[in-house]
A = this chain, B = another copy of it.
């Protein structure tokens, strides 16, 4: 955790704490039909196995809402139901035992229906995430009732100053923040405070400024993400830039990377963001050099082999793969374990000190042995 971490009001999704001083959790979303229990549970097991802490399932119809019962019972991780407009589906999802809802009360509109959802969520102590998305904001005129959100000791007049918004211009960022406050206000007016917030956009600047703004105003935990971020490669990078920057400045309690790819890739990307910022409690961190005309061996192949054998390790080891016997051990001096490969031979080193010399043809096996030894010591 960063020393400048913004400490938010903790909430619980199942047994996972979000906010407070809890570690940042990684979320994903199933892409199978939720009504298909087998497919969905299998995808969740795979996600969990790859380091997913919380999973969300879309609930487009009644069959899906009912299927959630078996899904929740067979899921090793907490399950959140994603509801768009349908009040009955929210109630059925709660009945099915989900651990959280993602639901914008502004989409449901009818106060008695929202009250019904909130009362049922309260009974089971289920939090609701308000997910403000740039692409589906309500019209500007329709959220005029945010005036006097006294719980946060501010009126809308102060928003531009607090959120550092240029007050001469009603920007998209301001509209996102006002929408969030409007949605929050609907729940707070019903005395429901078990809330989590997200402010997603595709554009990094919009996303970052919206999150910065809302996190200055409300005490609720923050769910970070970039919407429609793209395919695996470009989407991971876009998400890493936006989510990483916010985490580094202390904003964000849980994250989801959205990719047009297998959700396992979302989880891997999320964990890689956390590892890059030393925010991940478990898993190997791989240091490896890019290789250049100075490298005598196929460092790319070796690095990827080591990556593969350490991918699912739960130990928090820092492992280095270097293509240069001369600089390798020095450049990776703070790695727990490293290998520097030269012609025909490789040096295995621990904390920058030479441990042993091995032949190239057995170096991967020898290195794996050392990794497993150290894992057993540490875990």
The chain A residues found within 8 Å of chain B, CB to CB, are 29-35, 40, 57-60, 64, 82, 84, 133, 135-136, 202-205, 208, 227-231, 233-238, 240-242, 244-245, 248, 258-263, 266, 268-269, 272-273, 275-278, 286-295, 299-300, 303-304, 307, 320-322, 327, 330-333
**Closest chain B CB from A101 CB (angstroms):** 15
A237 with B276: CB separation less than 8 A:
yes
Contact of A260 among B136, B235, B321, B332 (CB under 8 A): B321
**Closest chain B CB from A264 CB (angstroms):** 12
B260 with A303: CB separation less than 8 A:
yes
B276 with A241: CB separation less than 8 A:
yes
- Asked whether A262 and B300 contact (CB < 8 A) given A135-B330, A233-B269, A289-B228, the answer is yes
* Assembly CA distance A240 to B276 (angstroms): 10
B260 with A331: CB separation less than 8 A:
no
Chain A's interface: helix, strand, loop or mixed, by majority? mixed
B236 with A236: CB separation less than 8 A:
yes
**Closest B residue, CB atoms, query A248:** B245
* Assembly CA distance A307 to B333 (angstroms): 40
B236 with A303: CB separation less than 8 A:
no
A203 with B293: CB separation less than 8 A:
no
**Closest chain B CB from A2 CB (angstroms):** 9
12 cross-chain CB contacts under 8 A: A31-B292, A204-B276, A204-B278, A228-B288, A229-B290, A231-B286, A238-B272, A241-B248, A245-B245, A260-B291, A261-B300, A261-B304
* Assembly CA distance A269 to B272 (angstroms): 15
A288 with B276: CB separation less than 8 A:
no
Residues of B within 8 A of A275 (CB): 234, 238
Residues of B within 8 A of A237 (CB): 236-237, 240, 244, 269, 272-273, 276
* Assembly CA distance A240 to B240 (angstroms): 6
- Asked whether A231 and B304 contact (CB < 8 A) given A237-B240, A327-B136, A332-B135, the answer is yes
* Assembly CA distance A367 to B242 (angstroms): 29
A327 with B135: CB separation less than 8 A:
yes
Contact of A240 among B32, B208, B244, B259 (CB under 8 A): B244
**Closest chain B CB from A262 CB (angstroms):** 7
Residues of B within 8 A of A231 (CB): 286, 288, 303-304, 307
Contact of A300 among B202, B248, B260 (CB under 8 A): B260
A307 with B248: CB separation less than 8 A:
no
* Assembly CA distance A127 to B241 (angstroms): 30
With A204-B248, A208-B248, A228-B332 already in contact, 17 other A-B pairs whose C-beta atoms are closer than 8 Å:
A31-B295, A33-B293, A40-B293, A58-B292, A59-B293, A82-B292, A136-B327, A227-B289, A228-B287, A228-B289, A230-B288, A231-B288, A231-B307, A233-B236, A237-B240, A241-B277, A261-B304
